Amino acid sequence: KHNPEGDAQFLEDESTKIFARKVADHYSARTNQTLEERENSPIIHLKKLNNWIKSVLIQLYARRGDAVLDLACGKGGDLIKWDKAKIGYYVGVDIAEGSIEDCRTRYNGDADHHQRRKRFTFPARLICGDCYEARLDEVLADDAPFDICSCQFAMHYSWSTEARARRALANVSALLRPGGTFIGTMPDANVIVRKLREAGGLVFGNSVYWIRFDEEFLEKKFKSSSPFGIKYKFHLEDAVDCPEWIVPFHVFKSLAEEYDLELVFVKNSHEFVHEYMKKPEYVELMRRLGALGDGNQDQSTLSPDEWEVAYLYLAFVLRKRGQPDRT
Ligand code: SAM
């Protein structure tokens, strides 16, 4: 029997899966770069700045011996940061098979990768899976609870439907211990929507990125006023080229509260840089990473176009309700 509503639901689920696959295939296809390729990237300083932001978040919240859950861990680009924080255990989950393989290689330290370093001191479990669909509380029942959950530059891939956004937050909440911390970075919807309005069209960007909204999607979503499934195409030179979804932060915040995750802070990346560059230890870290030069107009610092891309992102910290942190 014909059931229009059921069909619509079915279609939405199918297209959601197709988009999740697109995202996974995109990241899976991106192989590890050589050190030389990396240094020649048009966004090398942006990558370094993003690494600095993630390092600061990790240094602010990780404690020796912590159990860490890295959602959408990618190729394991943060493994060294966690090692420096002397964590006790690491679980990384990512939907992209190729990325998890690279992550495993990096963890095992047997690639011709640019690390000639000692093995990581913490045990790790690496899993290929969809963090926004799977019941990770079941998959990771023996590994939980975690002290920290991290989701870097990936939370927005959960915002294609309400069901996926809820699954993402339910997974984090179920796996964190009371008082545990959820740290992350994702696009700043306020900035993107403001730029869309200013652009007066559906596309905007600069020499290193562009964002394109789909007219049909915008109309549909503004009419239904649903805060989920507002899709755009994001292209970032030498990094990203796939569908993404707007995450209105106030919706993220209140949905997170439903899952006992309370906002500690949210800061646009520009604000984050200004705030933490007041602290000598993070200035020194920035110098070591080489994202910001000494102010001279040479190649050792972010270009204005890279700095504009940094502005598209925010960093957030949430805390799972319950007893305070261990002492
Ligand atoms: N967190 C890593 C980092 O900061 O280097 C990787 C960030 S990369 C921009 C986004 C990652 O999200 C990719 O590795 C991608 O495969 C992953 N991802 C996207 N959708 C996902 C999903 N549904 N479940 C798990 N991982 C997902």
Distance 193 CA to ligand 1 centre (A): 23
Give the pLDDT confidence of 258-292 residue by residue, as tens digits. Answer: 999 999 999 999 999 999 999 999 999 999 988 87
Contacts of residue 285, defined as CB under 8 A and 6 or more positions apart, other chains included, come to 52, 55, 56, 59
Q: Which of 81, 95, 169 to mutate to test the pocket of ligand 1 (most atoms within 8 A of CB)?
A: 95
With 0-12 / 13-18 / 19 or more C-beta atoms within 10 angstroms meaning exposed / middle / buried, residue 223 is exposed
pTM of the model: 0.92
77 CB near ligand 1 (under 6 Å): yes
Q: Does residue 99 have its Cβ closer than 6 Å to ligand 1? A: yes
User: Average pLDDT of 15-38?
Assistant: 84
CA distance 310 to 188: 10
Looking at ligand 1, which residue's alpha carbon is closest to its atom 17? Answer: 72
Among candidate residues 174, 238, 236, 186, the one with its CA nearest the CA of residue 54: 186
73 lines ligand 1 (CB under 6 A): yes
Place of tokens 């093995």: 119
Q: What are the pLDDT digits (tens) for 138-177?
A: 999 999 999 999 999 999 999 999 999 999 999 999 999 9
Q: Could you write out the DSSP letters of every residue in 32-59?
A: PPPHHHHHT-TTHHHHHHHHHHHHHHHH
Query: Per-residue pLDDT tens for 176-185?
Result: 999 999 999 9
Q: Atom 20, ligand 1: which residue's CA is nearest?
A: 157
| ipTM for the whole complex | 0.99
**C-alpha gyration radius of the chain:** 20
- Does 255 have pLDDT greater than 70? yes
